[in-house]
Amino acid sequence: MTGERSGPQPEDMIELNHLTKRYGGRAAVDGVSFRCEPGTITGFLGPNGAGKSTAMRMICGLAVPTSGTALVCGRPYRSLGMPGRRVGVLLDAAAQHPGRTGREVLALSARVLGVTRSRVEELLGVVGLAGPAAGRRVRGYSLGMRQRLGIAHALLGDPEVLILDEPANGLDPMGIRWMRVLLRGHADRGGTVLLSSHLLAEVERTADRLVMIAGGRIVAQGGRDELVAAGGDLEEEFLRLTGQGRRDEEAAR
């Protein structure tokens, strides 16, 4: 989203209502409901296997809900016209074609989205992959470089909504700060951001709202100060709410 917008657009938000996904008899996501508002960054937190990726895949139309709904920009993702122009998605940075160069990856998607080649060059610069890196094959990229390319890919269609699964994975401290500034700028221009992460301290600095999930269910949601008592610690609260602290302490005995 490059231009200044006239204010929050209700249809820009992400809205999950009792979203559920079962694999066999087991619920990976179990009755999850939350909203991500325009102008905000929502941090999606949970231990390994909590259901974050499954929920994000349903939001992006890559997994079919067993029940409940996931709407983005007011509709199921798959019924959006030109979804790449409305919703920028980074789900698996490792999935990019290893034999293509970073520039080719973006140029191919730019053609599909009707985006100019100059936007590709602009984004390579924005994510720090301009110069020789743009001409190298993705198989030679570090994880951080793949994340940067994935973020460029998500931004390509100038979307209002960003859905990013573990975007900070593999980024160095400078990269993490760069991403935080980038996402804050996006939200400040009226965009909606949903990002998952294991980096509690980073999410605490970046997100306006937090949604915590464990065993497929939401265990807490709200602003940081609503979730953590004054003087409290997000990590302690996270471990308590997700039942992780107790389990890990018992296992360590």
Ligand X SMILES: Nc1ncnc2c1ncn2[C@@H]1O[C@H](COP(=O)(O)OP(=O)(O)OP(=O)(O)O)[C@@H](O)[C@H]1O
| Nearest CB to ligand X, comparing residues 20 and 53 | 53
Q: Which of residues 46-105 bind ligand X (CB under 6 A)?
A: 46, 48-54
Rounded least distance, CB 219 to ligand X, Å: 13
| Nearest CB to ligand X, comparing residues 109 and 169 | 169
Q: Which of residues 28-57 bind ligand X (CB under 6 A)?
A: 28, 46, 48-54
| Nearest CB to ligand X, comparing residues 52 and 148 | 52
Please tell me the distance from the alpha carbon of residue 104 to that of residue 238, in angstroms, as a whole number: 41
- Read off φ and ψ for residue 217, nearest 5 degrees: -115, 150
Contact (Cβ atoms closer than 8 angstroms) between residue 54 and residue 9: no
Task: List, in sequence order, every residue forming a beta bridge with 76; answer none if it has no partner.
Answer: none
Rounded least distance, CB 10 to ligand X, Å: 28
Please tell me the distance from the alpha carbon of residue 30 to that of residue 22, in angstroms, as a whole number: 8
Is residue 192 close enough to count as binding ligand X by CB under 6 A?
Answer: no
Pairing of strands 209-214, 192-197: unpaired
Q: With CB under 6 A as the rule, give the number of residues binding ligand X.
A: 10
Applying CB under 6 A, among 23, 82, 135, 185 the residue interacting with ligand X is 23
| Nearest CB to ligand X, comparing residues 28 and 134 | 28
Mutual angle of helices 143-155 and 117-126, in 10-degree steps: 140
Rounded least distance, CB 79 to ligand X, Å: 23
Cα distances (Å, whole numbers) of residue 5 to 106, 160, 185, 191: 26, 10, 12, 9
Taking Cα atoms as reference points, which of 201, 82, 103, 222 lies closest to residue 153? Answer: 103
Rounded least distance, CB 53 to ligand X, Å: 3
Rounded least distance, CB 114 to ligand X, Å: 32
Q: Which residues make up the interface to ligand X (CB under 6 A)?
A: 23, 28, 46, 48-54
